[in-house]
Amino acid sequence: MIKNDLIKKINDKSAIVGIIGLGYVGLPLIIRFSEEKFKVIGFDIDTEKCRTLNSGESYIHHISTESIQIALKNGFSATTNWEQISKVDCILICVPTPLKINNIPDLQYIRNTLNSAQKFLRKGQLLILESTTYPGTTDEELVPIVENMSFQIGDDFFIAYSPEREDPGNPEYSTRTIPKVVSGITEHCCELADTLYQSIVDQTI
């Protein structure tokens, strides 16, 4: 089964993780996956962000330059090249969802991400939305795109939602120690997402 093959890759750390959005949510995830010896590719539309990270520097005050340099040594790289999506096994979307005037999350960054990544998606991948948004977003925005590609969700492609859990700058809580809520479109999707996050956090729910 494709699911079992991906679980094996996650467990033996051979799965390549792609993280879209290199901000205060995406960067801590990159660092955690890199600490656990996963190869990580970071995606962003900001060329300068990618250049800064690839040179071993941090642009977020509570994330140390040393942690970026360690991630680079463990195989991390940042890119604006969406073709690289085809190389990764697990894709985490961590783009902003700022509130609009009516206090509804603006989904333009999620939609732009999906439009950019869509033609590079392939069978056997796990796609996880982390961005803060309203219930129904995963079903309404991610599922139709994947179904239109004739993938079978839960069989040869997997979709999950796990809301970001960050408390930037708080020394008492880190990406690893904050419990992570995990869900999936199907049971297989949830199992895969849970397996992935269990490799980097102390507790999943």
pLDDT tens-digit readout, 25-82: 999 999 999 999 999 999 999 999 999 999 999 998 888 999 999 999 999 999 999 9
pTM above 0.85, yes or no: yes
Q: In this model, does residue 11 exceed pLDDT 70?
A: yes
Per DSSP, what are the bridge partners of residue 41? 18, 77
pLDDT of residue 138: 96
Give the C-alpha separation, 96 to 6, whole Å.
28
Q: In this model, does residue 102 exceed pLDDT 90?
A: no
Work out the pLDDT band at 177, boundaries 50, 70, 90. confident
Q: In this model, does residue 169 exceed pLDDT 80?
A: no
Q: In this model, does residue 1 exceed pLDDT 90?
A: no
Per DSSP, what are the bridge partners of residue 77? 41
Work out the pLDDT band at 171, boundaries 50, 70, 90. low
pLDDT of residue 167: 63
Give the C-alpha separation, 15 to 56, whole Å.
23
pLDDT of residue 116: 95
Work out the pLDDT band at 99, boundaries 50, 70, 90. confident
Query: Is the separation of the CB atoms in 177 and 155 below 8 Å?
Result: no
| Residue of 25 and 174 predicted with greater confidence | 25
> Residue 133's closest CA among 94, 91, 190?
94
**CA dist list (Å): 117 to 81, 121, 203:** 10, 7, 30
> Residue 153's closest CA among 117, 183, 120, 127?
127
- Biggest CA–CA distance in the chain, Å, is 46
Over the stretch 118-166, which tens digit does the pLDDT of each residue have? 999 999 999 999 998 989 999 999 999 999 999 999 999 999 999 987 6
